[in-house]
Structure 1
Amino acid sequence: MKSFGLLPRIIVAIIAGIIAGTFAPDAFIRILATFNGLFGNFLGFVIPLIIIGFIAPGIGSIGKGAGKLLGMTTLIAYCSTIIAGLVAFFTAKAIYPSILSNQAAKAFENPEKALLEPFFSVEMTPIMGVMSALLLAFALGLGMAAIKGDTLQKAMDEFRQIIEIIIEKIIIPLLPIHILGIFANMTQGGQVSAIMSVFAKVFIMIIILHILYLCVQYTAAGTIRKQSPLRMLKTMLPAYFTALGTQSSASTIPVTLEKTKQMGVKGRIADFSVPLLATIHLSGSTITLVSCSMAVMLLQGETYSFASMLPFILMLGVTMIAAPGVPGGAVMAALGLLKTMLGFDATMVSLMIALYLAQDSFGTACNVTGDGALTAIVDKLNKE
């Protein structure tokens, strides 16, 4: 199963869910619904831990040893991530009303009545609310960045490793079963045709946005460095396809580093910026998260506006700092924001995870390839 990537497993789970929802008896669907209820409750329990485990050590480690190069790289990465989110918002706002209007009207009139109930449920109360976890994570992260001691930083780094193991060994392997159950229940409820239509349209739009945004990044880098943007982008293609296969920015760092140096970036700058950007620059993931969240909101009949989405986009740039180098890390780190800032319920969270993971590898590839452009810009602007 390990050699069978997450994307193929997600695709198989969706197909199997549709087949099960069409032919399987209600009792089988209710078994899957029971699993989904338990898994969803566990996910709700883990979300505050994920927030603390990712954000606190991420902010703390970035703040330590702060210098001109670190500050400049972080600022450029954050600006790139925010611009990516804004591009996704305005594109979706312009396109979704026309391409998703029919699906939004018929997708979920009474979702609670259409879906089968689980046999039983087990309450798993989180140790704290999501907003409390966010505030605690920021307080700890900023505090660790301000003091000189390393004890708490080391403890938080080890805590993050524990959370990464939970995600990598428990949540990610069980997600295909969770998605299978979602689509089986939706199929028997007559909702799956609208969902699949949305999946296809949103997927295509996101991939196009990834490519266009990479062109913008390399046009900016090429203009500043007086190099051919197309030649720079061509040099970075091996990193893109490596990330497409591994679905991990961290695993792609050696290839990204090699190809960035081939573009003419100083070795000292590349050695520093590429590993840092692999954890703080998530422009492709942000495009995906914003596009998918707006699609889910439209499906569920929820409204969105620039005033509601801008704070979400601004927080995404911070919240996903040091998201783990495992498939689906970005969406896991963003679950808290989806629930608190956009009001996502359990069904919307499940749809969001399925939508995001279906193209996670493409978002990671966009992140990694963009790292090369940003490193080239940092190299040119750095005067040391």
Structure 2
Amino acid sequence: MSVLKGIARKYNDTSLILRIVIGLVIGAALGALAPGLTGFGILGDLFVGALKAAAPILVFVLVTASLCQSSSTMDRRFGMVIGLYLLGTTLGGVTAVVGSKIFPQKIIFAKSASSDIAPPSGFSEVLHNLLMNIVDNPVNAMVNANYLGILAWAVILGIALKRFASDNTRRFMTDISDAVSQAVRWIINLAPFGILGLMFTNVSQNGLSIFKDYGSLLLLLVGCMLVAALIVNPVVCFLILKRNPYPLLMRCIKESAVMAFFTRSSAANIPVNMKLCEKLGLDEDMYSVSIPLGATINMNGAAITIAVMTMAACNTLGIKVDMASSIVLCVLAALSAAGASGVAGGSLMLIPMACSLFGISNDIAMQVVGVGFIVGVIQDSMETALNSSGDVFWAATAEYRMWEKEGKELPTFLGGTRKVGI
């Protein structure tokens, strides 16, 4: 027993990234050298099955708990910060859709993916599916993993609880949210074994050429995130401040993004961001609320992941995504990203909701999630870096705009005379 405890302790102490890389290598090697050992494939099936079981309750509980704990006072005071968080997240979805149109990707599925797909005939059918899924029976939505219905009922219940629930009920919802998140962390902690099984199945069935497809998909994900971080976000900041945004951006990348890349957790990076806000001379009363808030709703990278993976699934299945449907996807990616779990790989759990817009079954959507975990070694680190550094970037942009309106001098690195910490 002590030996098993020692092995488990060593496993948990090892970086999840390193464990996933090891799972990738072992799975690919077994798939290439011993494709007849089909028993390894069940590890991937179990992992995907666990994700399918946890995802609906995770979305429902996280969104409900978040809304019932929100503060109306905070909404009024931090309107511009919230607006920038939501704008940045939406533009992330737009960047992903445009990138996917220019560089269309396909996904290699471990199982046949075309037998039960009935592509929507156009935007009107997509909109019809959207509206009907929203008003689905909440129990039926849970059972059938109808994420649109789950999200709609979670919003309704969260707003109702915010108004009528007692403090004990709110604490109970927080405890339930924490418990469900911990359960998902346990599942994701076993991701290396699931990835091993998924990689074995894919390599044994399709050969090592699949790495070319996964590499291309990863390049698109990373490319969209870099465009959002280095071009789109600075342009928005420039339009607001009429100043060169890159000195501020470089500080956010250097002191927030780099740390977030390795921690892979926006929540874990909150203390780093708070310290950076102090260095930037921001008002503590403001950033002490806006930074934790950003870790929840500023999910630029998550919106990119959701949109890119959904577009790749549509392209693989031959589903045409017209302009109107693309706009709906951008908005839905932004809204669903704001409810992404705070654990590593949390945004991948929202992909099925976006896929359901186009009639893609939950079984196929969860295979897309599995592919997301394969590329997630780099994708999730980049996503977290973009999300977390954006928390400070947008909070600083909003406050510096307030300074200008109040006649206060901006920091020297933005062309003002006010000195702030380095």
Whether TM exceeds 0.5 here: the answer is yes
Distance 1:109 1:185, change over 3 A: closer
* Residues matched between the structures, number: 361
Given that 1:285 and 1:330 are in contact with CA atoms closer than 8 Å, whether structure 2 keeps it comes out as yes
* Deviation (angstroms), 1:269: 2.0
- Write the distance in 2 (CA, Å) between the matches of 1:353 and 1:305: 28
- Write the distance in 2 (CA, Å) between the matches of 1:218 and 1:261: 21
Q: Give the CA RMSD over aligned residues.
A: 2.8
**Which residue, 323, 330, 336 being the options, matches 2:347?**
330
* Deviation (angstroms), 1:243: 0.2
- Write the distance in 2 (CA, Å) between the matches of 1:5 and 1:148: 40
Given that 1:179 and 1:354 are in contact with CA atoms closer than 8 Å, whether structure 2 keeps it comes out as yes
Q: Which residue of 2 aligns with 1:373?
A: 393
Q: Are 1:46 and 2:54 matched, yes or no?
A: yes
Q: Which residue of 2 aligns with 1:245?
A: 262
Instruction: List aligned pairs for 1:211-250, cutoff 5 A.
Output: 211-215=226-230, 216-222=232-238, 224-225=240-241, 227-236=243-252, 237-250=254-267
* Deviation (angstroms), 1:81: 0.6
Q: Deviations over 1:98-146 (max 9, x none)?
A: xx4xx67xx5698389xxxxxxxxxxx9963333433331221121233
- Write the distance in 1 (CA, Å) between the matches of 2:399 and 2:283: 7
More displaced 10-residue stretch of structure 1: 334-343 or 8-17: 334-343
In structure 1, stretches of 5+ residues that fail to align are 114-124
Q: Which residue of 2 aligns with 1:176?
A: 192
Instruction: With the length of structure 2 as denominator, give the TM-score of the two structures.
Output: 0.77
Q: Which residue of 2 aligns with 1:158?
A: 175
Q: Are 1:204 and 2:219 matched, yes or no?
A: yes
- Write the distance in 1 (CA, Å) between the matches of 2:91 and 2:309: 17
- Write the distance in 2 (CA, Å) between the matches of 1:205 and 1:351: 14
- Write the distance in 1 (CA, Å) between the matches of 2:229 and 2:109: 35
Instruction: List aligned pairs for 1:185-334, cutoff 5 A.
Output: 185-190=201-206, 192-193=208-209, 195-215=210-230, 216-222=232-238, 224-225=240-241, 227-236=243-252, 237-321=254-338, 323-332=340-349, 334=350
- Write the distance in 1 (CA, Å) between the matches of 2:175 and 2:19: 30
- Write the distance in 2 (CA, Å) between the matches of 1:186 and 1:67: 47
Q: Which letter maps to 1:41?
A: G
Q: Are 1:75 and 2:91 matched, yes or no?
A: no
Q: Deviations over 1:150-187 (max 9, x none)?
A: 33322211111111111112x11221211111111111
* Secondary structure in 1 matching 2:328: helix
Q: Which residue of 2 aligns with 1:6?
A: 16
Percentage of matched positions with identical amino acids: 22
- Write the distance in 2 (CA, Å) between the matches of 1:110 and 1:354: 16
Q: Are 1:111 and 2:128 matched, yes or no?
A: no
* Deviation (angstroms), 1:231: 1.6
Q: Deviations over 1:40-93 (max 9, x none)?
A: 333222122111121111122235444422333222211211111011101210
Distance 1:49 1:263, change over 3 A: same
Q: Which letter maps to 1:111?
A: S
Q: Which letter maps to 1:316?
A: A
- Write the distance in 2 (CA, Å) between the matches of 1:218 and 1:204: 22
Deviant stretches of 4+, over 6 Å: none
- Write the distance in 2 (CA, Å) between the matches of 1:184 and 1:158: 38
Q: Which residue of 2 aligns with 1:117?
A: none
- Write the distance in 1 (CA, Å) between the matches of 2:88 and 2:185: 28
- Write the distance in 1 (CA, Å) between the matches of 2:113 and 2:293: 44
Instruction: With the length of structure 1 as denominator, give the TM-score of the two structures.
Output: 0.84
